[in-house]
Structure 1
Amino acid sequence: MIKGSLKVKNTNDKNSAGATVAVNAGNVKLRASMTEAIIVNGPSFNGLALSLEKPGSFIIDYNVPKKDLRFQFMNSVKVAEKSINLNYIHFRNDNRTILDGTVVFDSANKVSVNHVLGSGNAKLKYVYLHRGLTTFEPSYDVAKDSWDFAVSRKVHGDGMVRASYQTSKNLLGLDWTRTTKQNGSFKISASFTVGEQLKIPNVSAESSWDFEM
């Protein structure tokens, strides 16, 4: 079976489109994706990538324009009855390795740690789901000594409203997302810098549709 998705994004200064096609080949998936392909003033295919994936085990991505390989290996273990999800991610061209781990305490609480090897930096994040509707996500960047905050809430069954604030950039973001089986998903985002002279915020609208063949 072939599964795919099509995404169109409109922002203040450009329009772009992306598409993904995935083919099941036994217990692995072959995927080709195009992200942020510019559709104004002629096509540009800077986001073309090919992937080989075994769900829950590994992903190998090849960025065609950059000729770059990205390896990701995943595993889950149980420690003291708690689930720990581990990710090892390596970018060949940058020789950059990321370690990411998430401890799932229960359905409402989890903590994650993200570390780039050799950077001396780590990012900590706590996610709390309140009554299945509202999610709180405080995070801390050790290198920047700064906190980021996000809160999201489900609305009208198939909608989601999310607000975020990056203290290091004084950047406030607002998102509204609606997803339905019949019409795909639609997302409107706006962001602006708090404290700056009043100006038009950065606004984008994004639509995506899934299909099977």
Structure 2
Amino acid sequence: MLIRELGTLLTGYWDADFVGSISEATGSVSSWRDLVAGYNTSQATALSQPGYSPSAFNGRPCLTFDGTNHFLNLASVPFPTGAAACEIWALVDQEALAADATGRRIFSYGGTSANNSRWIARAVSGGVNRGGTGGGSGAAQANVNGTIVDFSGRHVVRGTFDGALIGVSVDGNALATTALVPATSTTRTRIGAATPNTATNFFQGKIAAVAVTPLLTAEQESSMRAFLSARI
């Protein structure tokens, strides 16, 4: 169990395996609570509620996002902001086709634009689906995409923010990095969409788990990846 292995290192952790953290009716999810401090990402609008399946993620539970209007929202940012360091992890089944060039956010938090938020996402580069990380410096944004793994289907994606570089790794492959000193604001947190006042960049696929941590050691990174990858 991830909480037992990483303990206080976890600053946010949503996991669909913990069905008691999900509020749903007839397969529509109105809220998903994190397991660290009860941060409650929610959606009151029925058409924007993600779906829920007890078995669609390789026989395990997950939330399903349609790529059109599904997302969950938390009207605060209880995670590292400014240039403070963190990692964002997700276990997903990415279903958008590479012909769709829209950037699709798995998890994002910060202000109301790309210039003052940070995220992990699905991107398209060279006609191939890729895992991606992005963030804003306050004046501009930077993005980095993986180059090794086709980010279609079930994967573990890791985004890193160390205060000077942002990085992305899929399934434990080497980090791809680019320079960024983040200026992450404090407006909101979202699962399945970007953070503008009107949500955009909707994720298409299944999300089984999301975690926010400090920067991890190699041993901690290996433990986190093994725990999540066991469901693939």
After TM superposition, is the score higher than 0.5?
Answer: no
Larger fraction in strand: 1
Shorter-normalised TM range:
0.3 to 0.5
Higher helix share: 2
Q: Who wins on radius of gyration, i.e. which is larger?
A: 1
TM-score, structure 1 normalization: 0.39
